[in-house]
Copies of this chain bind each other. A is one copy, B any other.
Amino acid sequence: MNTDPYAILQTHLQSRAPLTTEECETMLSRFRLKKVKRKQFIIQPEYVAKYRNYVVQGALRAYVTDENGIDNTIQFAVEDWWITDYNSYIYQQPATMFVTAIEDSLILQLDFESEKMLKAANHKFETIFRIMAERTAAFQQRRIISALTRTAKERYQDFADRYPLVLNRLPQYSLASYLGMSTEFLSKIRNNKV
């Protein structure tokens, strides 16, 4: 099993559209490797999200802070997932989110200008980003349905069933806010106190 970060990303990209060796080279050369320490921020409100981030190793979370200073987790990302402030990145406008590392992590960053260039240069690259966007949209639609139709307990159970291994890597308070409930209530669900 290969542990070279670029080789891992290459496999990921190849699964979306088959690339020649040269194409792979072109694409991968635009990504830069970055180590992120636990609690370090890679995106902060008011700054434009310059990068789309592929997680090679580790775990990160994106959250917004409401007027009461409460964190609300919008997204998690572990190995083989992507994370950014999507609205900020796509439209290159100031972010509203924080993105921070839950664990020491290793990520591959693609900057917006390079992405733009890649999309324009090669139909296959465009296809890769199109597929990524479609899957993001489909995923989020499922999440919206879950938020609208399920109880707190059901939302937790669904998450636990779908991502059993991710579960124990996430601080409870961050999972609670991701699932739209308080950390106390999630604790009670987990310990059958409801």
Whether A138 lies near B72 (C-beta < 8 A) is no
Chain A at the B interface: mostly helix, strand, loop or mixed? helix
Whether A144 lies near B140 (C-beta < 8 A) is yes
Copies in the complex: 2
- Tell me if A4 counts as interface (CB < 8 A to partner B): no
Could you mark each residue 2-37 of chain A with 1 if its beta carbon is under 8 Å from any beta carbon of chain B, else 0? 000000000000000000000000000000000000
Q: How far is the CB of A3 from chain B (nearest CB, A)?
A: 30
> How large, as a class, is the contact surface on chain A?
20 to 34
Q: Which residues of B contact A129 (CB under 8 A)?
A: 130
Contacting residue for A149 out of B64, B130, B142, B145, CB 8 A:
B64
> A interface vs B, CB < 8 Å?
64, 66, 72, 74, 86-87, 90-91, 96, 119, 123, 126-127, 129-130, 133-138, 140-145, 147-149, 177, 180
